[in-house]
C-alpha cells in the first residue's frame, strides 16, 4: 500500500521548518545576537517544503 500524498507534504513541511529554524538559531547564536526562535520567512520556507513533498510524491509514487 502506498502512503498518501498528504504524508509526504507534511513531512516535507516539518523537515524544511525545523532545518530553517535550526540554521538561523545557530547562525544568530554564533553572531551573538541572542536567542531567537522566530525567523522571518519561516512559514514561507516551510510551505516550500510542503510543495516539494507533493512534487516528490507525484514524481516517484504515483
Angle at 39 between CA 35 and CA 33, to 5 degrees: 35
- Quick check: 7 pLDDT over 70? yes
Instruction: Give me the chain's average pLDDT, please.
Output: 85
Based on the structure, what is the number of domains in the chain? Answer: 1
Q: Which one has a higher pLDDT value, 9 or 26?
A: 9
- Quick check: 12 pLDDT over 90? yes
What residues have CB less than 8 Å from 17, skipping those under 6 apart? 42, 45, 46, 49
* Mean pLDDT computed over 14-31: 83
pLDDT (tens digit per residue) in 42-62: 888 899 999 999 999 999 987
Q: Give residue 44's domain range.
A: 5-60
What's residue 36's pLDDT? 66
Amino acid at each position: 500500500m502506498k502512503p498518501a500524498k498528504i504524508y509526504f507534504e507534511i513531512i516535507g513541511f516539518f523537515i524544511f521548518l525545523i532545518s530553517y529554524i535550526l540554521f538561523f538559531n545557530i547562525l544568530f547564536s554564533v553572531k551573538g545576537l541572542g536567542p531567537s526562535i522566530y525567523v522571518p520567512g519561516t512559514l514561507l520556507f516551510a510551505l516550500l517544503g510542503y510543495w516539494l513533498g507533493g512534487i516528490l510524491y507525484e514524481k516517484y509514487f504515483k
